[in-house]
């Protein structure tokens, strides 16, 4: 429990308070290495499970999730920052394509390894049942994005954390990873990156 609090509460708060934005990806890489070590150290985990689950992929549910993500992000951005709607897509489509290719591997996958695989395998026993574990997972996933200091990011990441956690428990890592990847890519395409990473990165 102490380790859980340090890893998923104390470290994200410290990152939000003290880490320069330029150190975001090095910190994510270090966090991922630590997570894989802890996963190995826990024991009882078959690493082949990381690539199992593609047979449970539901194309229609995937498209429905993508459509809901698109509609929600367009609605929120139109209501809060209409000038940013599709601005990244219009101003720098080539860079957006690069992000679409790299985000699933460099950001979504490490996060899923930490917040889904490690969380449920090593710390799931701290909770009284799967419902409580899923809610806690969504909460700490939202907390991990505290560094952006924005309530919109907090709400989106909590909702995304619920979807990814439930998807992981029911269909495995490939499904949760696919949902996370498409959600992130849609948010960038719509222009929500203005909240997640700031205009200084997207300019």
Helix/strand/coil (H/E/C) assignment for every residue in 72-137: HHHHHHHHHCHHHCCHHHHHCHHHHHHHHHHHHHHHHHHHHHHHHHHHHHHHHHHCCCHHHHHHHH
Reading the chain (203 residues) residue by residue, the pLDDT tens digits are 999 999 999 989 998 888 877 777 787 788 888 888 888 888 777 777 777 777 788 999 999 999 999 999 999 999 999 999 998 888 889 999 999 999 999 899 989 999 999 999 999 999 999 999 999 999 999 999 998 889 999 999 999 999 999 999 999 999 999 999 999 999 999 999 888 875 434 33
How crowded is residue 107: how many other Cβ atoms within 10 Å of its Cβ?
17
| C-alpha to C-alpha distance for 38 and 163, rounded to whole angstroms | 24
Beta-carbon contacts of 123 under 8 Å, excluding residues fewer than 6 positions away, are: 4, 8
What pLDDT was estimated at residue 198?
A: 54
Is-contact 125 134, C-beta < 8 A?
no
Structure tokens at 26: 């090095």
Buried-exposed string 131-159: b where 16+ CB fall within 10 A, e elsewhere = eebbebbbbbbbbbbbbbebebbbebbbb
Structure tokens at 65: 């999730």
Cβ within 8 Å of residue 29, ≥6 positions away: 110
As given in the structure block, the two tokens for residue 87 are 């601005």
| pTM value > 0.85 | yes
């Amino acid at each position: 429990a102490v380790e859980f609090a340090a890893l998923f509460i104390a470290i994200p708060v410290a990152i939000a308070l003290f880490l320069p934005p330029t150190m975001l990806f090095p910190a994510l890489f270090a966090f991922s290495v630590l997570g894989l070590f802890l996963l190995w150290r826990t024991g009882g985990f078959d690493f082949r499970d990381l690539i199992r689950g593609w047979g449970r992929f539901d194309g229609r549910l995937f498209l429905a999730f993508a459509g809901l993500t698109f509609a929600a992000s367009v609605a929120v951005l139109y209501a809060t920052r209409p000038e940013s709607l599709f601005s990244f897509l219009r101003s720098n489509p080539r860079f957006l394509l690069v992000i679409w290719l790299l985000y699933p591997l460099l950001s979504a996958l490490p996060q899923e390894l930490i917040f889904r695989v490690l969380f449920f395998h090593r710390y799931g026993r701290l909770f009284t049942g799967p419902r409580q574990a899923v809610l806690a997972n969504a909460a700490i996933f939202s907390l991990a994005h505290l560094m952006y200091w924005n309530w919109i990011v907090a709400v989106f990441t909590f909702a995304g954390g619920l979807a990814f956690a439930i998807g992981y428990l029911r269909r495995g890592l490939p499904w949760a990873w696919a949902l996370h990847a498409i959600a992130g890519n849609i948010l960038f395409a719509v222009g929500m990156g203005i909240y997640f990473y700031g205009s200084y990165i997207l300019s």
